[in-house]
């Protein structure tokens, strides 16, 4: 199973779709999770996810807003989607009945 930060990266990439790249994903993670995300953590985790086949990355054409530098575009693979869903569902399952989770259906 993937880790929490890997899940955040997969979710950010899925959320951004075709516009998923380092700086944008970092912005999404920091805004949504309310935590600092270093470029080191982001790119080393991306490498790990790519090695596991959960994401695919490729270089984009250089853009003017980045001083003529390329972006590393990220795309979540089918396996990445499955892994993120598995992580999400286990978090939901384990949270049922807790103070922070949803109430169990049969208890309502």
- Position among 44, 58, 90, 95 found at the interface with other proteins (CB under 8 A): 44
Instruction: Phi first, then psi: give them for residue 60, nearest 5 degrees.
Output: -90, 175
41 binds other proteins (CB under 8 A): yes
Residue number, 7 or 43, with CB nearest to other proteins: 43
Terminal-to-terminal C-alpha distance of the chain: 31
**12: which residues sit within 8 A by CB, 6+ positions away?**
20, 25, 28, 29, 32
Taking the complex as a whole, how short is the minimal distance between the CB of residue 1 and other proteins, in angstroms? Answer: 22
Residues of this chain that interact with other proteins (CB under 8 A) are: 21-23, 26-27, 38-41, 43-44, 59, 62-72
């Amino acid at each position: 199973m993937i880790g929490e930060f890997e899940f955040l990266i997969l979710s950010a990439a899925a959320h951004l779709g075709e516009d998923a790249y380092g700086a944008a994903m970092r912005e999404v993670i920091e805004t949504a999770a309310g935590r600092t995300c270093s470029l080191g953590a982001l790119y080393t985790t991306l490498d790990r996810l790519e090695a596991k086949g959960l994401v695919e990355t490729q270089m984009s054409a250089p853009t003017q807003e980045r001083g003529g530098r390329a972006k590393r575009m990220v795309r979540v693979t089918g396996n990445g989607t499955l892994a993120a869903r598995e992580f999400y569902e286990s978090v939901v399952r384990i949270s049922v009945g807790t103070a922070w989770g949803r109430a169990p259906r049969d208890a309502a």
